[in-house]
Structure 1
Amino acid sequence: MLVNGRSEMDRATAVETLARHLPAIPHAARQGGPEEIYRHLLNRTGLLREPTPGSVDFVHRTFQDYLSARAVVERHDFDFLIDHAHLDDWEEVIRMSVALARPDECGYLLEGLLAARKDTRPIHARHRKLLAASCLEHATELDPEVRSRVHRYTRDLVRPTSLEAARALGWIGPIVLEMLPDPSGVSDEEAHRLAVTATSIADDRAIDYLVRLRDRTSWAVRAQLAGAWRRYDTDRYADEIIAHLDARELDFPVSDLGELRALRRLGGRPCVQVAGALTPEQLTEGLVAERLTELWLAYDLGEGPDLGWLAAFPHLHTLRLSHRNAEVTGVPEGVQVIVAGP
C-alpha cells in the first residue's frame, strides 16, 4: 500500500496478497487459507478495518508505517527508503526504520539522506537533510562522526537569512516545523523570517508554532500572521492567532463568509481588508459598525457600484479600493477614498 501510494486496498487484492505470501509462512498457513487469515487479521488483531464494503485499510496510519519500517529493516532495503525520502508519506517510515535498525544501518541510511543525488531538486535535497536531522533522536546508537555530519549539514537550513530563503524553507513541508528554532529569543527581523517560513506551510500543525509569535509587537510579524488566515482552519486560527494580534495599524483580511463571521465573533477590528466577493448585505451584517474605521475592498465590485451601504458604519473614515473600482458612487461624506495602483 505504501509503495503504491494508497491508503486502502480492495479486499480481493488483500486476499490475493496473503495467498502469495502464505507458502513462505508455514505456521500461518497451518491456521487456514488466505480467506481465513484475512478474517483473522481483520477481526482479531485490531490492526485492520473495512471502511467500506470490499475495501480494507489500517485502523491507524502508524500501524502501516511501523510494519513498513520493520519490513524494510528485515530486508535491508535502505536504498529503497533513501529513494523515497523526499516524499512526505515516507517520513515516519524512515524515522521508525532508524529506531529499528542497527547502528551501522542507521549510519548508512543517514549518510544516504545527506548525500548529493543527481537530478535532485533543491527543495527535495533540503527536505532529505532536514529528515536526517529529525531522525537523530530516534537513533539509540550512532557513530559520532555521522551525527556530527548531520548537524553540520542542517544547522543553517532552519535559520534563513532572507525572506526568499524563508519562503523556500516553508515549501519543504511540515517537517520544517520540527526543526525551527524557539522564536522567543530572536530579533524581530528573524522572527519575521520564521513567521514567513511557518505560514508558507499550509498545514494546521503550523498554528502550534505561530502561537509562539502572536504576541510580537513587530508590525511585519503581525501582518504576516494576519495575512495567513486563509491557509488554516478558520475558527482555530481565529481563536489561537487572530484574537491575540495587536490591532494597531493592522489590516485584518477576510476572504470568505466564515472568516467574516469569525472576526465578528471576536468583536470585529478597526481595519478590515475584504479579499473575497462578499455582498453588501453580508458585509453590513458581518462587520462591527461601532468598531470599523478603515475598510479595504480588495476585489472587483462590478460596474459603477453604489457604496451607499457604507453609511451603516458611522466611524468609517478611510476606504481603500482597487484601481479597477475607481468609478464608484454613494460614498458617504467624510470618507476618504484611496485608490491603489495597478
Structure 2
Amino acid sequence: MNIEDFDFDLPEELIAQTPLRERSASRLMVLNKDTEEIAHKQFSDIKQYLKAGDCLVLNDTRVLPARLYGVKEDTGGKVEILLLKQLEGDSWEVLAKPAKRIKEGSALTFGEGKLRATCTGTLEHGGRILQFDYEGIFYEVLEELGEMPLPPYIKEQLPEKERYQTVYAKEKGSAAAPTAGLHFTTELLEEIKEMGVTIAFITLHVGLGTFRPVSVDNIDEHKMHSEFYVMSRETAETLTRVRENGGRIISVGTTSTRTLETITRDNNGQFVESSGWTDIFIYPGFEFKAIDGLITNFHLPKSTLIMLVSAFADRDFILKAYHEAVKEKYRFFSFGDAMLIM
C-alpha cells in the first residue's frame, strides 16, 4: 500500500494544544465496524458501550520528564538532551541538540551541577550515549530538572506535568504518553468496574518512533522502532478467562493494541506472561488475534497510528470518519478527542 492511501486534510487549528480541564469531558466518536454507523458522544458515555464480562486493557507506563536543558562544562554552550532508553545502570541513549557539539568525552552539566553527564558514545541521527553522575535517586533528580517531552506539533507549555500522565501511570520509562488513556478519571474507571467490567494492565514504554513520520512511499518498506513491553501472569490469566467466558477485550490505545497483538502473534493466539521488545507494524491486511474493540485518539495523516486503526476497521470507513471529525471540529492527537471502534 502507498503512504498516500492514508492522507487527509487536517487543519492545523484542530491539533489540540492543551488538555481539557476535565479529562472525561472530551468528545467521543463511536464507530460500528459492522454497520459502519457513526455516533457522536461525550467520553463519559463510554459506559453505554461496555457490558459485564468485558475487559479494558490499559497501558500503565509512566512518562519520564525526559527533556533536559544544560551546558557544556568546557564552553558553557547550551545543550538540550532527550532521554530515550536506559541501557545499563546510569548509561542512557539520548537525542542531543546540537549534536555536533557533543562528542565522545564531552562533559555536560544540568541544574547547576545537580546532574552531570559524560558522552561515552555517538550514534546516528543525533543519538548519543551519556553516562550520568548525581547524588541521591536519579528519577527524583529528573522529576526536579526535567520537562515533559511533548510532541513537536504542540507549541504550548504544559502547566501541570501530571496532565500528560494517565491517572493509572505507574511504570517509569516512556518518552510519550499512551494518550488514549488520558480521558479516564479514577471515578470513571471505578464506575466501569462496578458495571462488572474487568480492568487489566500491561506496560509498553512508548518510544519517539511514535512521532517519526513514515519516510517511504510503499508502507511495506517502513520499519518500526522497537519498544519494551511487559505482560504479567495476572493479566495473561485475566484475559484468558475473559475470552473463555465470551467477554470482549477492548484495548485502550494503539500501544496496548501493539502489545497484545505481539504477544498473541508470538504465542499461537494465546495470552501468556511475557516481556521483551516489539517492533510490530500493524497496517491493513493484518489479522488481529487479541482485541475486539479499540479506544484511540484521532491521529495525524500518513502516520503509522492511522494505519493501525485502518487495519482494525475498513480503511475507507476510517477515512470517512476522519473527514466527518474534521467537519465536526473534533480535536486531534495527544490532547484531543477520542474514538471507540467496536
Output the TM-score relative to the length of structure 1.
0.25
Structure showing greater relative contact order (alpha-carbon pairs closer than 8 Å, 6 or more residues apart) = 2
Rg: which structure is higher? 1
Higher strand content, 1 or 2:
2
Structure having the larger proportion of residues in helix: 1
**TM-score (normalised: structure 2):** 0.25
